[in-house]
Structure 1
Amino acid sequence: MNFVELTVTVMLKRNIFFADSGYIIGKNINKAMLLDKDLKELHPKKEYKHYVFNSFYPLEKDKIYKSDKLYIFKIRGLNFEFMEKIKICLQRLESNDFKVISVAASQVKQRHINELYTVTPVIITIDNKPWLQGEDLEIFKNRVEANLEKKYKDFFNEDINIQGRFIKRLKFKNRMPMYFNYKGIKLLANKVSIEVQDDEEAQKIAFMAMAVGVGEKNSAIGAGFCSGK
């Protein structure tokens, strides 16, 4: 299994608050998709898009990304054709938020993963409400595993069963809930580290998680973007 990683260099046209960055990047990726006939048809569909992105880098101490300054963000995805089209569309994008300076593509090959760490917070909801620390941890774990299992089955069109067999240990990296601003509401989220089981199926899922994200709203606001150790 391989995935494609795009490194996008942009110059901001205005100041952007950190909690708004996920929505703004996602909005511009969606706008870029409208420049391609096939991606334009995919955009409105309510289905897994199988890509994820992180936020602007470098980070800013005051949590405000600055106008006229260069930043990078990364987009990862499993579908090579889709990612090539996104690359081309981003290079043609006209945005009020940033100017795209360059887009570089690379392939990432599957490797052994001991631990996943969410670079952007992960969103898990229960009955359309955010899961918060202090609630049933097993429900959180089950939702994470079920979500990844569904993504795997949807993309590869083959069954895999990782319920209770993927997460070895899980630790939260934040005390208070983190959040994304999204269409006038705050989506609460948590940063976590996940120690991964060592069997073949768990390793497949761990690598896929790096390509498509953990939890919900991966392609909408870049939630659940992971690094692996």
Structure 2
Amino acid sequence: MLVFEYKLRVRLLKSFEYVKASEAVSYFLDSALGKEEDFLKLHERREYKYYTMDSFYPCEKDGIYKQGKIYAIRIRTVKQELAEYFSRMLIHHTSGEMEGLTGELRIIPKKQLERVYSLTPVIIKTEKGYWREHMSVPEFEDRIKINLIKKYNQFNHTKIEENFQLYNLIEFKNKVPVKVPYKNITLLGDKINLIASNDPMAQELLYFSLGTGFGENNGRGAGFMNYQYI
């Protein structure tokens, strides 16, 4: 199992605020997936998507991404066929908000991880809303671990032993919930930093998370993780 990263340069066709960035990137990818039947079915199925992406780089100090300016976005996946599809289709693909220019596909090296940390908010959806209003931190930790294990089991058609320590320390980097617009509502998430466990299964899962994201709504840009090796 490998994690593929496609770094794409895009030109914006209109300006918009940073809070709309994830929606714009999601729509750009969705419209590309809709061009071929097999990948349209992937987009429409109610299951894990096995890809995630970050937002535009460089960031804008005034919070406004500028029409005509060129930015980079990273798309990651554990599905090789999807990585190859994105690398083939996104160059010169156009949505109403941006157009693809050039891209570079690479494999993220599988090395010992010291930590992984979220660049976009990690989201856990509950019937009662934002998790901090009715869940403890240990319950939150259980949810993100179970979610990641379920993704891994489904992707690899296996069932791993769950009694292991995924990380040694979790830090919340935000003092207040981070707002994430989604389908005319606002979800609330958190930026987290995880100090990796040396357990082999933990290392495997944390590497896997680089291509799938942590938590939920990964195909909408939530839970995109960066990393640091030992």
Interval containing the TM-score (normalised by the shorter chain): over 0.9
Equivalent residue pairs, number: 228
One-letter amino acid of the structure 2 residue matched with residue 73 of structure 1: I
Moved over 6 A (4+): none
Matches within 5 A, 1:12-91: 12-91=12-91
Corresponding residue number in structure 2 for 1:132:
132
- 1:225 aligned partner, one-letter code: F
Q: Is the 8 Å Cα contact of residues 92 and 101 (structure 2) preserved in structure 1?
A: no
- 1:209 partnered with 2:214: no
1:80-113 deviation digits (Å, cap 9, x = unpaired): 1111112222125221101111121111121111
- Matched with 2:103 is 103
Identity %: 29
Aligned-partner Cα distance in 2 for 1:29–1:163: 36
Which stretch shows the higher mean deviation, 80-89 or 169-178? 80-89
Distance 1:48 1:129 in 2: 21
Amino acid at match of 1:126: T
| 8 A Cα contact 1:162 1:201, kept in partner | no
Quote the Cα distance in structure 1 between the aligned partners of 2:23 and 2:45: 18
1:226 — aligned with what?
Answer: 225
Conserved? CA contact 2:119–2:225, under 8 Å: yes
Bigger Cα displacement from structure 2, 158-167 vs 47-56: 158-167
What is the aligned partner in structure 2 of residue 167 from structure 1? 167
Q: Give the distance between the partners of 2:85 and 2:195, measured in 1 at CA.
A: 34
Q: Structure 1 length as normaliser, TM-score?
A: 0.95
Task: Read off the aligned partner of 1:181 and give its amino acid letter.
Answer: P
**Retained in 1: the 8 A contact 2:118–2:225?**
yes
Corresponding residue of 2:152: 152
Alignment partners' CA distance in 2, 1:119 and 1:139: 22
| Preserved contact between residue 167 and residue 194 of structure 2 (Cα < 8 Å) | yes
Partner amino acid, structure 2, of 1:187? L
The answer to whether the 8 A contact 2:28-2:98 is kept is no
Unaligned runs of 5+ in 2: none
Instruction: Give the CA RMSD over aligned residues.
Output: 1.5
> Structure 2: how far apart are the matches of 1:126 and 1:163?
24
Q: Distance in 1 between matches of 2:133 and 2:172?
A: 9
The range that moved more, 161-170 or 99-108, is 161-170
For residues 97 and 163 of structure 1, the distance between their equivalents in structure 2, rounded to whole angstroms, comes to: 45
Distance apart, 1:176 and its partner CA: 0.9
Secondary structure in 1 matching 2:19: helix
Structure 1: unaligned runs, 5 residues or longer: none
Which amino acid letter does the alignment assign opposite residue 61 of structure 1?
K
SS of the residue 1:76 aligns to: strand
How far is 1:158 from its partner?
Answer: 1.3
1:200 deviation in Å? 0.6
